[in-house]
Amino acid sequence: MCMVRFGSVALCVFLCSAAAFAQRPSTDPRALIESGSTALKEERFGDALDAFAAASKLLPRDGSLCFAAGVAAFRLGRNSEAEDWFERALKLDPSLGEAGLWLGELQYRQGRLKEAIATLEEAQKRSPSTEGIQERLREWRKETQLQDRFYESRGAHFSVLFEGPADEMLARRIVEHLEAAYWRIGSALTAYPPNPITVVLYTTEQFQDITRMPAWAGAAYDGRIRVPIRGALDQSERLERVLGHEYVHAVVAMLGGRNVPTWVNEGLAVVFENGGLADADKVLQRFSTRPPLKVLEHGFSGLSDAQASVAYAFSARAVRRMIDLRGAPAVVMLLQDMGRGAEFSSAFQQRIFMRYEDFEALVARQ
């Protein structure tokens, strides 16, 4: 389960007013702002980043342009670049509370929890009315109080945080499972995340409190893998599947950023679970419902248990069909295109050699 949870954040006023300007040459910052604003709204984040970066060169003292560029870079998964833009925005205009909120969110998703709290505390001082800061601070302070007493077990590519010595054996088992998944999935997709990935183990109650995920969620990924561990040692096969599923989300984030349609992300994760496709077929045999892929583009968290089962299963079937048509390398290239800012339907047609709408109709008939 890929956890995507981010408060509603309004961009600066200039995004709303930019449409009032007429088309100008690209050396006109107003035209660049208009172009970037349109690209953001249409989720063409590569074009948005290019436009706002160019506008920022022409208006180097405008912090709101740096903030907008940071938002685009964030959605592309370019974390270092986004962090630089947000920091520039705050340096130019310390009262830009939105920039502080997004910077804190970026740091949080990288596991830099205390740094994220410090960022939000500073943003709150300078812009106390910014919506969302107080709620996030409350959540993150509670989380850091919990994690301050955690232990850690390290592997070559993973770091597992756990609450007490009683969970040490489980933490080691999780490192072993994930290291195996790193090589198995990496070999299939020719993709290996270069930075260590943090895994946090929770009780069921802690998991629900921290992630706010639906009751059917078996784990979550938001830059870190979060796993509820009740009975995990007695359910080794299920644990291995859950870990492999969440690890795929880390690979997808590395390749495609944060704008990959949910059905692609979750479908890939199910495909690379041990036994995931077989279970997906069983689900689809029990249910006749086939939700449109477009409906499955923006998250499953609002679905019921039964609806979620169908959504995951149908997503897996669609991804399997993509792989059957063009091979796993084509799916990887599609993700990479999105990481560079391409619009999904255009990238899909280029890599799968079929219009997205036609593919949707094809898998719906299966």
Look at residue 222 in the predicted model and tell me its pLDDT. Answer: 93
Q: Per the structure block, which two tokens stand in for 314?
A: 């149908």
User: Nearest-CA neighbor of 197 among 136, 243, 259?
Assistant: 243
Look at residue 354 in the predicted model and tell me its pLDDT. Answer: 96
Per residue in 288-347, pLDDT (tens digit) is 888 999 999 998 988 999 999 999 999 999 999 999 999 999 999 999 999 998 889 999
Secondary structure of 16-50 in HEC code, one letter for each residue: HHHHHCCCCCCCCHHHHHHHHHHHHHCCCHHHHHH
Q: What is the pTM of this model?
A: 0.86
Q: Per the structure block, which two tokens stand in for 139?
A: 């959540």
Look at residue 234 in the predicted model and tell me its pLDDT. Answer: 57
158-162 vs 151-154, strand pairing mode = antiparallel
Rounded to whole angstroms, how far apart are CA atoms 251 and 249? 5
Look at residue 215 in the predicted model and tell me its pLDDT. Answer: 86
The amino acid occupying position 41 is: K
Q: Residue for token digits 């490192």?
A: 175
DSSP string, 172-185: HHHHHHHHHHHHHH
Ordered alpha helix ranges (H), the chain: 13-17, 29-41, 45-58, 63-75, 79-92, 97-109, 113-126, 133-147, 168-189, 204-211, 236-256, 262-271, 276-286, 305-326, 328-339, 344-352, 356-365
First to last CA, the chain: 25
Q: Which residues of the chain have pLDDT under 50?
A: 3-25
CA–centroid distance for 260 within its chain: 8
* Contact assessment for residue 243 and residue 227, using Cβ atoms and an 8 Å cutoff: yes
Rounded to whole angstroms, how far apart are CA atoms 294 and 22? 33
Write the CA distances from 186 to 1, 4, 75, 231, integer angstroms: 19, 23, 23, 28
Q: Residue for token digits 């096969």?
A: 237
* Contact assessment for residue 262 and residue 300, using Cβ atoms and an 8 Å cutoff: yes
Q: For the chain, which domains are there?
A: 13-146 (1.25.40.10), 151-251 (3.40.30.160), 262-365 (no CATH)
Rounded to whole angstroms, how far apart are CA atoms 112 and 102? 14
Look at residue 320 in the predicted model and tell me its pLDDT. Answer: 97
Q: Which residues pair with 200 in a beta bridge?
A: 161, 226
Q: What is the Cβ-side half-sphere exposure of residue 280, based on CA atoms within 13 angstroms?
A: 23
Rounded to whole angstroms, how far apart are CA atoms 1 and 33? 36
Q: Per the structure block, which two tokens stand in for 302?
A: 């609002």
Who contacts 202 (Cβ-Cβ below 8 Å, separation ≥6)?
163, 210, 226, 227, 228, 229
- Helix (H, G, I), strand (E, B), or coil: what is residue 292? coil
Tally Cβ neighbours within 10 Å of residue 149: 8
